């Protein structure tokens, strides 16, 4: 199992239009077939010192293995998402984990 988690910080966090545009872009990633599961979310309303809730959107993929992850990275849908939506974020942080 290969888990790929991405956190996005909006360039303009006060813009609901940008927030929804990035969410719509994230939804397009559901068209990629290389994953076992996909979760799109925003920070939960949990407040403890160990929780970072400063991001605006998160994306978590579960892939069968690293090869599936690597195929996702070069998938035309993923590349189009980056091309179309990178203007909406100022920061992206990725965490990859394997079992």
The continuous run of DSSP H or E covering 33 comes out as none
Does residue 31 sit within a domain? yes
Does residue 75 sit within a domain? no
- pTM here? 0.93
Q: What is the pLDDT of residues 71-99, one digit of tens each?
A: 999 999 999 999 999 999 999 999 999 98
Does residue 92 sit within a domain? no
Number of domains the chain is built from: 1
Q: What is the pLDDT of residues 9-26, one digit of tens each?
A: 999 999 999 999 999 999
Does residue 12 sit within a domain? yes
Question: Using the 8-state DSSP alphabet, how is residue 77 labeled?
Answer: H
Residue range(s) defining the domain that contains residue 3: 1-44+53-58
Distance, CA of 29 to CA of 68 (rounded, Å): 14
Distance, CA of 66 to CA of 62 (rounded, Å): 10
Does residue 70 sit within a domain? no
Does residue 21 sit within a domain? yes
Does residue 90 sit within a domain? no
DSSP-assigned beta bridge partners for residue 6: 59, 94
Q: Sheet containing 57-63: which strands, arranged edge to edge?
A: 35-41, 57-63, 2-10, 89-98
């Amino acid at each position: 199992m290969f888990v790929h988690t991405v956190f996005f910080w909006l360039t303009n966090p006060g813009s609901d239009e940008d927030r929804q545009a990035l969410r719509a872009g994230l939804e397009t990633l559901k068209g990629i077939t290389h994953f076992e599961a996909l979760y799109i979310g925003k920070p939960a309303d949990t407040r403890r010192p160990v929780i970072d809730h400063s991001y605006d959107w998160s994306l978590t993929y579960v892939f069968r293995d690293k090869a599936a992850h690597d195929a996702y990275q070069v998938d035309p849908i993923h590349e189009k998402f980056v091309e179309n939506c990178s203007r909406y974020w100022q920061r992206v942080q990725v965490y990859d984990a394997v079992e």
